[in-house]
Amino acid sequence: MSSLKDQLLKLGLVSEKQARQTAHEQRVKKKTQGREGAAAERDQRQRDAETAQQARREADRDRERARQARQDQKALVHQINDVVEGGKVDGRINGNRRFYYESRDGRVPLIELSDQAFDDLVAGRAALAESPRGEVRVITPDAARKVAALDAAWLRVWNG
């Protein structure tokens, strides 16, 4: 294994004269520093290494916190999806009455409901839940209460 000086010389990045001059400057610096200077330099390098290690540890902790937050959010979405799917209104809800609501992204889409489903939504006997993907479900008031406790942003319409 050749030294860095030999490698730089071989690649032609430094001349022989520059390499000798740099080696001389390093010897002079080492001699003028003495033992105390060398010890101080060694201590400084150690402090720098410890600081860098602390920064890496903090970055690792931040990444772990972000990963845990994503995992918690994913679990919450899964839990709310289970509540919404379990609380879907049974029976026929599709019909020819148009019900307009404000979606998550601010648009005003419509859903075509039966007369009974429309009346239930207006009276608070049913609620409208929208997933982050834009899927809309008519759910029972019990399911709406559970969803509101977990994340009210899922509820688009609920008069309960």
> Which residue ranges make up each domain of the chain?
1-71, 87-158
How distant, in Å, are the alpha carbons of 83, 131, 141 from that of 79? 6, 12, 17
**Which whole number is the average pLDDT over 117-135?**
90
Mean per-residue pLDDT, 22-35: 81
Structure confidence at residue 59 (pLDDT): 96
- Categorize the per-residue pLDDT at 28 as very low, low, confident or very high, splitting at 50, 70 and 90: confident
Specify burial of residue 96 (Cβ count, 10 A radius: 0-12, 13-18, 19+): exposed
Q: What is the pTM of this model?
A: 0.61
**Two tokens at 129?**
């839940």
